[in-house]
């Protein structure tokens, strides 16, 4: 028992001690929590106190931001950057501050959150603000922009003018008013923003265009603003920086070539230079192109004609008439020219394609003629166009079921066997040897093994020979030097950079040429220095350097550039230097990349298409110039049809910027005519006949109207086609220093000839493109730039014939009314063939390559899509009916019904019995006013699916429009069976009957329509017209009603009331009138009246001679306007 007590005591003591301990621990924990709470609150108070300074700054930000947003100007990214920079430190500090849970700090937290949000989304807020500003600003400057040179800017032009971003690129269309937009910008800057004209730099590319713009701005708009070319700008910068206007290198083109010739003469006094020069002339003057790189025999043949593959050997012979002639020996491949020149230079006598010494001719084959024969050594040389695996070019043709490779290699084997059989020596060379750069060294080794002795001409000896016999080669080299020099300086290039590129590409020709060019360049620069002159490239390059070195201080706040698509790299660097020196300068450029046609002169379309990237950098750390792109797409020159044709043509090149030209001139006529002529010999002798035909068409269409015609040539020599025309004579125009052409039978035509390049910026009612042919001097031209120039020319657009396509586009878009193209049957231009095929470019992206768009084509198995990057992308996709229907529906929604019809028809080629498509096609036809076609396809739709009641409705509409009112009535009645009264059908039924003269029936349906809508004004008016017409009819004759239909009876009585006419009728005194009392009455009705539940008519009764009331339910056999008054009664 005691044990239990002891244990119990111990337990109680333990519990007491534990309770005490827990209470103490709890108290300690509570104290710790209280202390932490105090510390936290103290920390919060400290943070809140420290944030008060930031709160003050935030409030200042809010005040400043409101002022900033309320500025009466467009806020550029430069403006935004400067404003935002003031608060970058504040933002960065708050961004890492843990403030969101501070107690009793809700208002301050809201301020901080708002600041961080507005700072983070600053650019978006400014964009929204600018959009609102532009809308309001356009209202304020409406009068100002409605009178620019007495013309009103359109909506897109106005937006382009008012937007005032760091960089502004205005992407324009042909004939869209580029110069007017620039004039509007100048007027807005000077008269609205009060910008000093001296702070505006306005640049145009040519002296002529600069003078024309100056005339418009200074004289017509009375704004004192100089318009400069790039060269004039450069010259002015140099003069101001150096306090001295430099002398300009002013030699003519002929004199420059003579100067370069003198430099060549000086340079060749160096033996190494002279030897390099001779090597270049002999083996590298013509750029080598591997025979395997050609895509067709025609391409290969055209290239051979273009390059004029002639050796140094002069062939002398007599004609049949005994006349002595001489000419350079011609060859069939570049590699044969190299071999021939190699043999000639080493004084090894050879004969080209001499008949083999043994007879091989048979009935089937002609005599064998090896490529080269060396008579002194009785050695034959054959050059074979194969690679190291005996493969032949892909364009070689097979024969009789054998592949091209088999045929060619069988020929090689036959030749080897022939030589072996006859014991003659054959030396073989191959195309692959030239590709590896060992053709001539390998040939030398092979010939030396056969005992051939080499006696190489000295450099002087060969030079003298070339000067005397083939001086055109030296001229070609000199011209190449000149072109290279101009582009080299224009791009401000360096020899080291180009040499590095040449070596990297293992380009032996380029490496050798640069060795020849460098001394000429030094001599040229020394010549300029000695004469204290600068050339046109120096004007720009030196000005750029002076700006970059801060030797010139830019006064310009705005730089405006016209025809920006023609910008070159050196001109770009000049403008960029001005912007870098003064980052707040705004850039405003207008151009059309579709009309970039001066690559040969150094223009780089890549600066236009990559505008944002080229001009985004700045000298201010952290600041990136922002670009605003605007479009001016409303052409005032030509109609919608030429827009569709030319846009589809140019957008085949995926590198062109997409834009959607529009015109107020709407037409359904084909905008282009192709006139074909025979030209099997490619001499163009029949071209004038096609020209005559084009002129005859224009004269016939225009009668005696004053119209302008531009005859456009790809080359100047094409004017000879005009000289052959029987319709034209030429007359010299002293005022414009040109020949005008007179149409002999009609002097109202103003006819001029220009090359396409010189026609840019001009327009005429009619354009006749004289060259629609393929070939070396065709359109597109197949004269390729020397690959050496590609080191200096833009590579931004590698699309095949990209520049030529733009040039053809320029030619087409000079026309205000119509384009005519002359083209041969035998050798049409690929552009002409493409236009004839009319393959639409779509907005669909290629499934493989990055920038490809899909072209719609038709093959033997139906329609398919192909990538417009067809030169390297082989993507194709079958076009299903649904694809075509989708395009057609989109076009129809845009009211482009001509094109919608084409696509609906195409889809029916794929799926012929689609009633919905037939219906939609009919709707497109109807809205395009092709009513008979519409009726045809409505009928087909009904045949396929007679439940489409709307096909009846709209077919009725088409019938109505072609005045087949009975058919329209029947279709609308059918529609009304399913949808009574909908789509205003009662009105249209009535209108059909109105035109048929069935006025009573028309009135019946008009009354039904008024029951649905008693206020319908059209229905009321038509009903009144019906009543007026019906009155004329019924007043001239009796009208009988042999029905008991109460509605018809009511209508007849109403006509009696309306026209004050008598009505005769049978009347039954009892509703149960069988055998009851009847009467014949004639009354003059006056009004309707309801008696009890019955509708009655009140009128003067001629029998009772007083007004009486008659229940219309008891009336029958009514006669309106009876010939005589009759009455009787059984009563």
Q: What was the pLDDT predicted at 775?
A: 82
Residue 1 has pLDDT above 70, yes or no: no
Supply 154's token pair.
């359109």
Residue 879 has pLDDT above 90, yes or no: no
Residue 4 has pLDDT above 70, yes or no: no
* Mean pLDDT of the chain, nearest integer: 90
Residue 599 has pLDDT above 60, yes or no: yes
How far apart (Å, rounded) are the C-alpha atoms in residues 56 and 453? 98
H-assigned helices in 163-229: 178-187, 207-214
Pairing of strands 586-591, 1115-1120: unpaired
Q: What was the pLDDT predicted at 6?
A: 46
**Who's near 457: CB < 8 A, 6+ residues apart?**
345, 346, 347, 465
| Residue where one domain finishes, among candidates 600, 632, 664 | 632
Same domain assignment for residues 997 and 1066: no
Average pLDDT for residues 943-947, to the nearest whole number? 90
Same domain assignment for residues 676 and 792: yes
Highest-confidence range of 108-122, 364-378, 573-587, by mean pLDDT?
573-587
Task: Label residue 310 by pLDDT band (50, 70, 90).
Answer: confident
Same domain assignment for residues 230 and 291: no
| Higher per-residue pLDDT: 842 or 663 | 663
How far apart (Å, rounded) are the C-alpha atoms in residues 470 and 476? 11
How far apart (Å, rounded) are the C-alpha atoms in residues 607 and 259? 34
Q: Is residue 517 part of a domain?
A: no
Q: What was the pLDDT predicted at 993?
A: 94
The answer to whether 491 and 277 are in contact (CB under 8 A) is no
Helix (H) or strand (E) holding 1111: strand 1106-1111
Q: Is residue 760 part of a domain?
A: yes
Average pLDDT for residues 855-870, to the nearest whole number? 78
Residue 757 has pLDDT above 90, yes or no: yes
Residue 709 has pLDDT above 60, yes or no: yes
Task: Label residue 1073 by pLDDT band (50, 70, 90).
Answer: very low
Phi, psi of 400 (to 5 degrees): 50, 45
Same domain assignment for residues 291 and 399: yes
Q: What was the pLDDT predicted at 745?
A: 79
**Who's near 578: CB < 8 A, 6+ residues apart?**
201, 547, 554, 556, 559, 585
Q: Is residue 257 part of a domain?
A: no
Task: Convert the pLDDT of each residue in 496-520 to its tens digit.
Answer: 999 999 999 999 999 999 999 999 9
Long-range contacts of 786-790 (CB under 8 A, 24+ apart): 786/287, 786/480, 786/483, 787/287, 787/509, 787/510, 788/287, 788/480, 788/484, 788/509, 788/510, 788/513, 789/483, 789/484, 789/487
Q: What was the pLDDT predicted at 543?
A: 96
Say which CATH number the domain at 310 has. Answer: 3.40.960.10
Task: Convert the pLDDT of each residue in 441-489 to its tens digit.
Answer: 999 999 999 999 999 999 999 999 999 998 989 998 999 999 999 999 9
| Higher per-residue pLDDT: 796 or 1064 | 1064
On the question of a cis peptide bond just before residue 780, with omega within 30 degrees of 0, the verdict is yes
The 8-class DSSP code of residue 457 comes to P
Cα dihedral 204/647/155/130 (nearest 10): -80
Same domain assignment for residues 405 and 393: yes
Say which CATH number the domain at 722 has. Answer: 3.40.50.300
**Who's near 728: CB < 8 A, 6+ residues apart?**
695, 722, 741, 742, 743, 744, 751
Supply 771's token pair.
């060259």
Q: What was the pLDDT predicted at 601?
A: 85
Q: Is residue 305 part of a domain?
A: yes
Residue 291 has pLDDT above 70, yes or no: yes
**Using DSSP, how many helices (H) and how many strands (E) does the chain show?**
41, 32
| Residue where one domain finishes, among candidates 971, 1001, 1034 | 1034
Residue 24 has pLDDT above 60, yes or no: yes
Helix (H, G, I), strand (E, B) or coil at 821: strand
Task: Convert the pLDDT of each residue in 527-575 to its tens digit.
Answer: 999 999 999 999 999 999 999 999 999 999 999 999 999 999 999 999 9
Residue 7 has pLDDT above 60, yes or no: no
Task: Label residue 81 by pLDDT band (50, 70, 90).
Answer: very high
How far apart (Å, rounded) are the C-alpha atoms in residues 452 and 343? 11
Average pLDDT for residues 16-35, to the nearest whole number? 72
Same domain assignment for residues 54 and 107: yes
Task: Convert the pLDDT of each residue in 426-441 to its tens digit.
Answer: 999 999 999 898 999 9
Task: Label residue 101 by pLDDT band (50, 70, 90).
Answer: confident
Domain coverage including residue 186: 147-249+535-632
**What does R_g of the chain's alpha carbons equal in angstroms?**
45
| Residue where one domain finishes, among candidates 1034, 1058, 1075 | 1034
Residue 889 has pLDDT above 80, yes or no: yes
How far apart (Å, rounded) are the C-alpha atoms in residues 1054 and 1085? 8
Q: Is residue 151 part of a domain?
A: yes
Supply 776's token pair.
């070396």
Highest-confidence range of 590-594, 943-947, 1076-1080, 1113-1117, by mean pLDDT?
590-594
Same domain assignment for residues 680 and 828: yes
From its phi and psi, is residue 328 left (phi > 0), alpha (psi between -120 and 50) or beta?
beta
Same domain assignment for residues 338 and 306: yes
Q: Is residue 959 part of a domain?
A: no
The answer to whether 231 and 539 are in contact (CB under 8 A) is yes
Task: Label residue 871 by pLDDT band (50, 70, 90).
Answer: low
Q: What was the pLDDT predicted at 1071?
A: 53
Q: Is residue 957 part of a domain?
A: no
Say which CATH number the domain at 985 has. Answer: 1.25.40
Average pLDDT for residues 347-358, to the nearest whole number? 94
Same domain assignment for residues 398 and 310: yes
Q: Is residue 17 part of a domain?
A: no
Say which CATH number the domain at 1120 has. Answer: 2.30.30
Task: Label residue 1053 by pLDDT band (50, 70, 90).
Answer: very high
Task: Convert the pLDDT of each residue in 964-1006 to its tens digit.
Answer: 999 999 999 999 998 898 899 999 999 999 999 998 899 989 9
Look at the chain and report how many structural domains it folds into. 6
Residue 935 has pLDDT above 90, yes or no: yes
> Could you tell me which of 1121, 1126, 1128, 1123 has the C-alpha nearest to residue 1053?
1121
Same domain assignment for residues 711 and 793: yes
The answer to whether 1009 and 1016 are in contact (CB under 8 A) is yes
Task: Convert the pLDDT of each residue in 51-62 to its tens digit.
Answer: 888 889 989 999
Residue 5 has pLDDT above 50, yes or no: no
| Higher per-residue pLDDT: 158 or 1058 | 158
Enumerate the β-bridge partners of residue 739.
732
Residue 400 has pLDDT above 80, yes or no: yes
Same domain assignment for residues 160 and 124: no
Same domain assignment for residues 541 and 666: no
| Higher per-residue pLDDT: 615 or 37 | 615
């Amino acid at each position: 028992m005691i044990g239990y007590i002891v244990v119990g005591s111990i337990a109680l003591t333990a519990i007491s001690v534990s309770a005490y301990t827990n209470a103490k621990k709890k108290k300690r924990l509570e104290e710790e929590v209280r202390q932490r709470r105090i510390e936290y609150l103290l920390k919060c108070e400290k943070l809140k106190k420290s944030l008060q300074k930031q709160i003050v700054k935030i409030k200042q930000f809010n005040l400043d931001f409101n002022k900033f947003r309320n500025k009466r100007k467009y806020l550029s990214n430069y403006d935004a950057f400067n404003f935002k920079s003031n608060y970058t430190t504040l933002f960065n500090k708050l961004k890492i501050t843990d403030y969101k849970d501070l107690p009793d700090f809700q208002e301050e937290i809201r301020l901080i959150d708002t600041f961080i949000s507005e700072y983070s989304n600053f650019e978006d807020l400014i964009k929204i603000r600018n959009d609102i500003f532009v809308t309001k600003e356009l209202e304020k400057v409406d009068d100002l922009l409605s009178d620019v040179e007495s013309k009103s800017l359109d909506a897109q032009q106005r937006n382009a003018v008012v937007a005032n971003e760091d960089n502004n690129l205005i992407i324009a269309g042909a004939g869209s008013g580029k110069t007017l937009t620039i004039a509007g910008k100048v007027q807005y800057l000077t008269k609205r923003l009060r910008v000093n004209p001296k702070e505006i730099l306005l640049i145009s590319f040519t002296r002529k265009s600069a003078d024309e713009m100056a005339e418009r701005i200074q004289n017509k708009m009375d704004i004192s603003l100089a318009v400069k070319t790039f060269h004039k700008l450069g010259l002015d910068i140099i003069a101001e920086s150096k306090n001295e206007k430099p002398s300009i290198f002013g030699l003519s083109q002929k004199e420059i070539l003579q100067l370069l010739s003198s430099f060549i003469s000086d340079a060749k006094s160096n033996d190494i230079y002279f030897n390099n020069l001779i090597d270049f002339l002999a083996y590298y003057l013509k750029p080598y192109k591997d025979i395997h790189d050609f895509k067709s025999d025609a391409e290969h043949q055209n290239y051979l004609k273009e390059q004029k593959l002639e050796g140094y050997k002069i062939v002398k012979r007599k004609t049949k008439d005994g006349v002595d002639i001489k000419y350079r020996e011609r060859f069939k491949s570049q590699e044969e020219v190299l071999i021939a020149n190699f043999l000639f230079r080493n004084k090894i006598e050879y004969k080209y394609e001499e008949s083999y010494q043994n007879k091989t001719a048979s009935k089937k084959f002609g005599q064998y003629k090896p490529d080269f024969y060396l008579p002194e050594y009785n050695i034959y040389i054959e050059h074979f166009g194969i690679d190291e695996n005996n493969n032949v070019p892909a364009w070689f043709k097979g024969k009789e079921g054998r592949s091209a490779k088999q045929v060619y290699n069988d020929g090689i084997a036959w030749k080897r066997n022939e030589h072996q059989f006859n014991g003659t020596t054959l030396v073989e060379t191959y195309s692959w040897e030239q590709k590896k750069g060992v053709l001539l060294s390998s040939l030398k080794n092979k010939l030396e093994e056969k005992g051939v002795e080499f006696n190489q001409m000295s450099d002087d000896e060969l030079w003298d020979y070339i000067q005397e016999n083939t001086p055109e080669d030296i001229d070609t080299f000199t011209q190449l030097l000149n072109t290279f020099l101009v582009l080299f300086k224009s791009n401000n290039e360096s020899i080291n950079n180009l040499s590095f590129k040449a070596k990297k590409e293992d380009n032996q020709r380029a490496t050798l040429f640069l060795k020849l060019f460098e001394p000429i360049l030094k001599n040229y620069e020394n010549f300029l220095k000695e004469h204290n002159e600068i050339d046109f490239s120096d004007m720009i390059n030196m000005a750029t350097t002076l700006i970059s070195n801060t030797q010139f201080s830019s006064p310009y706040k705005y730089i405006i550039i016209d025809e920006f698509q023609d910008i070159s790299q050196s001109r770009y660097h000049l403008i960029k230097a001005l912007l870098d020196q003064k980052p707040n300068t705004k850039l405003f450029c207008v151009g059309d990349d579709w009309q970039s046609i001066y690559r040969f002169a150094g223009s780089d379309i890549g600066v236009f298409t990559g505008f944002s990237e080229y001009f985004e950098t700045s000298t201010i750390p952290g600041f990136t110039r922002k670009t605003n792109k605007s479009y001016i797409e409303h052409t005032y020159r030509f109609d919608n049809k030429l827009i569709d044709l030319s846009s589809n043509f140019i957008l085949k090149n995926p590198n062109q910027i997409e834009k959607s030209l529009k015109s107020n001139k709407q037409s359904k006529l084909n905008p282009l005519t192709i006139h074909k002529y025979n030209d099997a010999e490619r001499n163009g002798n029949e071209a004038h006949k096609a020209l005559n035909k084009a002129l005859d068409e224009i004269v016939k269409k225009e009668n005696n109207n004053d119209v302008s015609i531009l005859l456009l040539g790809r080359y100047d020599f094409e004017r000879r086609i005009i000289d052959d025309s029987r319709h034209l004579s030429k007359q010299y125009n002293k005022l414009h220093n040109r020949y005008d052409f007179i149409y002999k039978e009609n002097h109202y035509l103003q006819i001029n000839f220009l090359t396409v390049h010189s026609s840019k910026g001009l327009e005429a009612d009619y354009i006749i493109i004289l060259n629609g042919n393929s070939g070396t001097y065709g359109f597109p031209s197949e004269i390729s730039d020397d690959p050496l120039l590609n080191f200096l020319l833009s590579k931004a657009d590698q699309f095949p014939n990209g520049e030529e396509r733009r040039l053809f586009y320029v030619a087409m878009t000079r026309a205000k009314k119509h384009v005519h193209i002359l083209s041969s049957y035998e050798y049409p231009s690929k552009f002409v063939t493409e236009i004839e095929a009319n393959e639409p470019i779509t907005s669909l992206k290629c499934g493989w390559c990055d920038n490809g768009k899909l072209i719609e084509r038709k093959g033997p198995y139906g329609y398919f899509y192909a990538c417009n990057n067809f030169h390297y992308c082989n993507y194709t996709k079958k076009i299903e009916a649904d694809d075509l229907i989708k395009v057609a529906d989109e076009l129809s929604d845009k009211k482009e019904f001509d094109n919608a019809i084409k696509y609906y028809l195409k889809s029916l080629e794929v799926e012929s019995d689609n009633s919905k498509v037939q219906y939609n096609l009919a709707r497109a036809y109807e809205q395009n006013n092709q009513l008979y076609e519409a009726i045809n396809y409505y009928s087909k739709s009904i045949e396929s699916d007679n439940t489409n009641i709307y096909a009846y409705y709209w077919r009725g509409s088409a019938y109505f429009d072609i005045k087949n009112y009975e058919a329209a009535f029947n279709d609308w009645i059918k529609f009304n069976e399913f949808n009574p009264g909908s789509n205003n059908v009662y009105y249209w039924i009535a209108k059909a009957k109105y035109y048929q003269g069935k006025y009573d029936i028309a009135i019946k349906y008009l009354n039904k329509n008024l029951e649905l809508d008693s206020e319908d004004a059209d229905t009321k008016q038509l009903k009144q017209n019906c009543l007026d017409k019906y009155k004329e009819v019924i007043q001239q004759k009796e009208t009988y009603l042999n029905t008991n239909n109460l509605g018809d009876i009511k209508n007849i009585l109403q006509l009696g009331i309306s026209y004050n006419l008598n009505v005769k009728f049978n009347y039954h005194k009892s509703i149960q009138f069988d055998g009851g009392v009847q009467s014949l009455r004639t009354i003059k009705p006056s009004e309707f009246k309801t008696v009890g539940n019955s509708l009655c008519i009140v009128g003067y009764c001629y029998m009772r001679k007083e007004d009486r009331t008659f229940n219309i339910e008891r009336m029958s056999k009514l006669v309106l306007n009876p010939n005589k008054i009759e009455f009787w009664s059984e009563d």
